[in-house]
Amino acid sequence: MAPQPAPHVGPTQGHLIVERPRRLRRNAALRRLVAEYRLSGESLIQPLFVREDLTEPRPIASMPGQVQHCLASLPDAVARAAAAGVGGVMLFGIPAQRDAVGSAGQHPDGILNRAVRAALTAAAGRTVVMADLCLDEFTDHGHCGVLTDTGHVDNDATLHHYQRMAVSQADAGAEVLGLSGMMDGQVAAVRGALDAAGYDDVVLLAYAAKYASAWYGPFREAVQSALEGDRRTYQQDPANRREALRETALDLAEGADVVMVKPAMGYLDVLADVAALSDRPVWAYQVSGEYAAIEAAAANGWVDRDALIRETVLGIHRAGADAVLTYWATELAESL
């Protein structure tokens, strides 16, 4: 009889180690092969800011490496994203004139609609062009909706403005509209207006679970927000998890084509919940403050910037996001 090999005995006398997960981590090639998630440019979306009264790009101090584009500098940024294989660009407009109802957001020649047309030309079908559909960049009070006499954000009156803005963005050629205002009924209202105008093929991305977050701080500089106060009567309370499922279910029922969770890193539990619920694509937005915090720590030499960018975006995918809006989209796609 052939001699039996001695069982491998672990560090504790007589204790047999049967499972050895480290076996699959032995070297880089093996780790790469068994990776469950992979970063790729096509599942990244680049947010871009376009400011009407600029003639050259202007750096955003709180978001090192990001700029407010002028209309002339936008096409290169879109072309660069497209060349890197980025899945889409999300455009935000900063108008020269603001008023109480955000009129500049609906004007055919408003900055955001002009940006959409310029981006479409530059993209030439290689990357998807999306427009933010919200009033906050266009109102002189900075809220995402119009106000009542007593200063409250008027949900139902706001929907009419979203409908007109949506049709003007569809007229400009926007392929995806990002409904970021957190008004009740906004998805159904905009879907109805688009369909009535013959735009049944325009995709609606619903910011389904959008929290009233301090992580948006640098974005306020990026869009020169006029907001005083906060958005807590319409954006979600960070204390709530279950409520995100209610918001998501409503947006799905109203016809959202894609649902999104925002911010990302602090809301991975919510993202996992939403991903379990949704039968449609789920995206997440790694927002301005998440970008700024990592850039600031990296500038101090406190963290490994490139590793942390990859780790955080990977973590957002792992939690359930099919695609991620991140200010690093183009750079990350170029590095992959």
Rounded least distance, CB 264 to ligand PBG, Å = 10
Among 270, 275, 272, which residue's Cα sits nearest to residue 258? Answer: 275
Annotation marks residue 203 as catalytic: no
203-210 and 58-59 strand pairing: unpaired
Six token digits for residue 85: 């294989």
Applying CB under 6 A, the span of 13-21, 131-139, 312-320, 328-336 interacting with ligand PBG comes to: 131-139
Helix H or strand E segment including 313: helix 305-319
Q: Does 134 bind ligand PBG (CB under 6 A)?
A: yes
Rounded least distance, CB 231 to ligand PBG, Å = 6
Catalytic residue among 114, 141, 161, 210: 210
Rounded least distance, CB 254 to ligand PBG, Å = 19
Distance, in Å, from the CA atom of 52 to the CA atom of 57, rounded to the nearest integer, reads 11
CB neighbours of residue 312 within 10 Å: 18
Q: With CB under 6 A, what is the number of residues at the site for ligand PBG?
A: 10
Rounded least distance, CB 129 to ligand PBG, Å = 17
Applying CB under 6 A, the span of 111-119, 129-137, 160-168, 311-319 interacting with ligand PBG comes to: 129-137
User: Based on CB atoms, which residue is closest to ligand PBG, 83 or 297?
Assistant: 297
Q: What are the DSSP calls for 160-183, one per residue?
A: HHHHHHHHHHHHHT-SEEEE-S--
Annotation marks residue 210 as catalytic: yes
Contact 80, 168 (CB under 8 A): no
User: Based on CB atoms, which residue is closest to ligand PBG, 83 or 308?
Assistant: 308
User: Based on CB atoms, which residue is closest to ligand PBG, 162 or 199?
Assistant: 162
User: Based on CB atoms, which residue is closest to ligand PBG, 185 or 217?
Assistant: 217
Q: Does 309 bind ligand PBG (CB under 6 A)?
A: no
Burial class (CB in 10 A: 0-12, 13-18, 19+), 1: exposed
For 74, 93, 148, 195, 284, the CA distances from 262, given in Å and listed in that order, are 25, 19, 27, 27, 6
Distance, in Å, from the CA atom of 143 to the CA atom of 47, rounded to the nearest integer, reads 20
Q: Does 288 bind ligand PBG (CB under 6 A)?
A: yes
Q: Which of 60, 74, 136, 236 binds ligand PBG (CB under 6 A)?
A: 136
Tell me which residues are annotated as active site.
210, 262
Binding site for ligand PBG (CB under 6 A): 132, 134, 136, 144, 180, 216, 219, 231, 287-288
